[in-house]
Amino acid sequence: MKKQQILTYIFLFFFSTNLSCQNKSIPSKEVLTNSLHSMINNIRDNYIYLSDKDVDIECIRTSYLEKINHIKTRDDMILFFEYLMDEFYDDHLILNTNIKASYRLHAPIYFKIENGKVRITNIWYSQIKNLKKNIIGAEIIEFNGKKFSEVIDLFPTVCHNKTNNEVREWIANKVLAGKYNEPRVLKIKLSNSQIETIDLDDFKIIKKRKVLSSKKIDNIGFIRINNSLANSSLVPKFDKVLNSFMNTDGLIIDLRNTISGGRCENAIGIIGRFIDKKQAYQKVVPSERLGDHLQPDQNCIYVSPRLERYRKPVVILVGRWTGSMGEGIAMGFDGLERAEVVGSEMRKLLGNMYGYSIENTGIKYNISREKVFHVNGVSKQNYIPSHHIIQSQIKPDIILQKGIELIKKVADKK
């Protein structure tokens, strides 16, 4: 047998073996059907925000049953369940698995629909290193060479009411987050009617390796949490820095880069350094008690004092990229009347998350089973900072400036 023939047989053997392995990783149509029903039933029974959504769950069930026939690979299966989750237009309702063709969870800019036009209302300027031009207020005209309104209509969900402004706005931000394997080139119209093209992937996002950064500003302590609210080393490091700031005139805690959320233990650990007695810092309503018409004030979550108390004024900085546990910390400080909260609206991620598995797939997903409230009864998604700042520029940092101003105002009175 010639060498070339041998190599060909070897190639065909490994190719067919690899293909067989890939096929084995895809459950049968019958198994996928059962998995789909189980997942939809779980969401129907436990997703606490379902009644607040413009969602036809039976449309989702019927439409996605038909789509099962088109699943040929594991990537197809992942996207199948990803798009199903997108039908609920909830950034907290996500798969814990993604592929190159998946949509990212967020973008460095945020959009709202105003008078039918999609406009940039927020920029993650605290984390963008090379942002030179103020594009706040700009209208999005095209995305990757296509009219933006058409791209929204083509978003791969099938049961969305895309005339619903809330749904359409959510889709707009999902589209701009973009897929991992596709460009994100925007044609925008600035407030002066000038047309420009920007590539979101040209933005250099600052990624800090340290769990927190700290410094003093005019004898005001400043601590920035670097998206580390899930890090088990955060509280000890926070304690160490806070201990060095005990003689400052006040403290600023910057939560504008906490987009990934985190652990309740870290929230309780941080807040516990600023109070002198056990108190409620938030309220929740679990899905299993909704039928009892349970009121938020009957479900308090408490925090207790810990170590030496910091007694000086505190300001919490927040923004559109303050997510989940970051939102809970900000609301907690506000509810305890232990800090002034300064910034724009936050990420508005819904509820407390619980993890589940899609049967026979190895894919996990999260859904909200508890509604979260400020201690005054305001829901997390409707909470607005006490010092609400509408972003209008990228320099100077007006949110930080406001925080410094508030602390100095208290210090000057003493």
- pLDDT, tens only, 344-382: 999 999 988 899 999 999 999 999 999 999 999 999 999
Can you tell me which residue has the tokens 């006490």? 386
Phi, psi of 365 (to 5 degrees): -150, 160
Question: Dihedral sign, CA of 174, 175, 176, 180?
Answer: positive
Q: Return the structure tokens found at 32.
A: 């996928």
CA 75 distance to own-chain centroid? 23
**CA 38 – CA 227 distance, rounded (Å):** 34
pLDDT digits 0-9 by tens, 70-119: 999 999 999 999 999 999 999 999 999 999 999 999 999 999 998 889 99
Residue 8, pLDDT score: 44
Read off the pLDDT band of 181 (50, 70, 90). very high
Q: In 3D, which of 96, 29, 93 has the Cα closest to residue 357?
A: 96
User: Residue 370 burial (CB < 10 Å; 0-12/13-18/19+)?
Assistant: buried
Residue 16, pLDDT score: 40
- Within a 13 Å sphere around the CA of 326, how many CA atoms are in the beta-carbon half? 30
Query: Would you give the end-to-end CA distance of the chain in angstroms?
Result: 95
Query: Strand (E) positions, 299-402?
Result: 300-303, 314-318, 340-343, 352-358, 363-373, 387-388
Residue 393, pLDDT score: 86
Check if the beta carbon of residue 64 is closer than 8 Å to that of residue 36: yes
Length of the chain: 414
Which structural domains are found in the chain, ordered by start? Answer: 109-202 (2.30.42.10), 212-346+383-413 (3.90.226.10)
**CA 100 – CA 91 distance, rounded (Å):** 19
Residue 252 is classified by DSSP as E
**CA 409 – CA 109 distance, rounded (Å):** 32
pTM, two decimals, is 0.89
